[in-house]
């Protein structure tokens, strides 16, 4: 039996998409589950104990489609506060953010010959078709 009087710190871990404006990708969900498993196994910090689970969902209308966002929040109790872990970067983002050596040839898309639409470059445009859950 677990003695809750030893719990000095509670960490809330959400697995799934809880923000309708920003849906989680499969990789992000797997990273969230990996963090939960790490907290419960005690691999990198003191082993936590599962105290409670919240199950929740939201119905969101995006255009003509109705989407169900589901997530679970796990409350993990620790005897002491775990040390913060450095943020993980996906392998593609880490390689993209690395500076190119000075003697490396220029990337194919680095020469700006025209607008992004002419060069085939994808631009970040904020989506406006996500409705508020209210």
Q: What is the pLDDT of residues 86-102, one digit of tens each?
A: 666 655 655 555 555 55
At CA 13, angle to CA 12 and CA 17, rounded to 5? 125
Q: Comparing 123 with 65, which gets the higher pLDDT? A: 65
SS3 state at 23: coil
Q: pLDDT by residue (tens digit) across 6-44?
A: 888 999 999 998 887 788 899 999 999 999 998 888 777
Region 74-81: what's the mean pLDDT? 90
pLDDT at 112: 44
pLDDT at 42: 78
pLDDT at 108: 47
pLDDT at 53: 95
DSSP character for 130?
A: B
pLDDT at 118: 44
d(C-alpha 2, C-alpha 5), whole Å? 9
pLDDT at 30: 93
DSSP H or E run through 35: helix 26-41
Region 90-119: what's the mean pLDDT? 50
Alpha carbon separation from 41 to 34, 102, 104 (Å, rounded): 10, 44, 44
Tell which residue, 44, 51, 40, 42, has the closest CA to residue 88: 44
Tell which residue, 59, 45, 51, 61, has the closest CA to residue 13: 51
Tokens linked to 32: 């969230």
């Amino acid at each position: 039996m677990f003695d809750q009087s030893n719990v000095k710190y509670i960490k809330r871990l959400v697995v799934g998409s809880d923000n309708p404006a920003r849906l989680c990708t499969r990789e992000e969900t797997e990273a969230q589950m990996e963090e939960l498993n790490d907290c419960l196994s005690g691999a990198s910090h003191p082993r936590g104990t599962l105290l409670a689970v919240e199950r929740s969902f939201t119905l969101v209308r995006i255009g003509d489609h109705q989407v169900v966002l589901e997530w679970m929040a796990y409350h993990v109790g620790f005897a002491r506060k775990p040390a913060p872990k450095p943020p993980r970067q996906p392998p593609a983002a880490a390689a993209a953010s690395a500076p190119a050596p000075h003697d490396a040839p220029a990337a194919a898309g680095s020469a700006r010959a025209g607008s992004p639409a002419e060069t085939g470059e994808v631009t970040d445009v904020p989506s406006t078709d996500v409705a508020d859950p209210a």
